[in-house]
Amino acid sequence: MNIVHKNNSMPRVLENVRERLVAELESMMADTTAGVSLRVLAERVGIGVGTIYNYFPDKDELILEVFRREWARSIRAVCAAICEGDSEPETRVQRMLELLYDDLERLVHASGRRKAVMDGVAGGGNEHRAPLPLRPDIWRWLVQAFTPVWETIRETNDENTNDATGARRPHGLGVGPGDDARSSTERLTVMMISTLGRLIVTFPSERRANIEFVRQLVVRGGCLYE
């Protein structure tokens, strides 16, 4: 909660300021007519610029929170989708890639506007920080956030056994339990997301072929990293 005084009037109580700041920043990224400064963001929420720092220690953390929330929504949607219907691992991988592709395509198409808003909000104060796609801390967070997706696929692998012998049917997905598998799936996450993004930019009209290319890499992931 934040209390704002206006011209000696009764204080105005604002609820959920942190959430509103993130929501408004996301909205600014989608609205090509909106201004792109920290002051504009504060005005949209109804607070002073200085009040933003009560909720975010710096501008970089505010931008990172938008990134984290966008990806958290995407990951929740992927987990929900791959739990529906057919439990075959490769079918779930296909669903995962289709949803990720759509989300990444949206981000690619809006990249110019998003950069303008981020630069405007940063106000030239983050020149020392590398772009988000080049920052190891971003990828480390994303790898950890993506863990539930691989765990859901792993559950289907555990079910994919021969009932008579208990032996696992071959499926080509290297996402079993253990430290080696964890290392492999972390690399799969980075490879999958970065490759999808580059294919969208390079071959924008070839959605099916792009998804199939990455699907084959993911399915062969266990072989690639053994």
Going from N- to C-terminal start, the domains of the chain cover: 1-56, 61-224
Domain 61-224 has CATH 1.10.357: yes
Amino acid letter for position 80: A
Query: Which residue is associated with the tokens 């949206």?
Result: 106
* Rg (alpha carbons) of the chain, rounded to whole number: 21
Helix axes 89-109, 59-82, angle to 10 degrees: 150
Question: The whole model's pTM is what?
Answer: 0.78
pLDDT category of residue 33 using cuts at 50, 70 and 90: confident
- pLDDT value at 176 more than 60: no
Q: Which range (17-31, 49-63, 164-178) has the least confidence?
A: 164-178
- pLDDT value at 29 more than 70: yes
Which of 31-45, 109-123, 166-180 has the highest average model confidence (pLDDT)?
31-45
Structure confidence at residue 198 (pLDDT): 95
Structure confidence at residue 35 (pLDDT): 81
pLDDT category of residue 197 using cuts at 50, 70 and 90: very high
Quick one: what percent of the chain has pLDDT higher than 90?
45
The rounded mean pLDDT for the chain is 80
Among 219, 139, 119, 214, which residue's Cα sits nearest to residue 174? 219
146 versus 120: the higher-pLDDT residue is 146
1-56 folds as Arc Repressor Mutant, subunit A (1.10.10)
* Residue 53 and residue 75 in contact, taking contact as beta carbons nearer than 8 Å: no
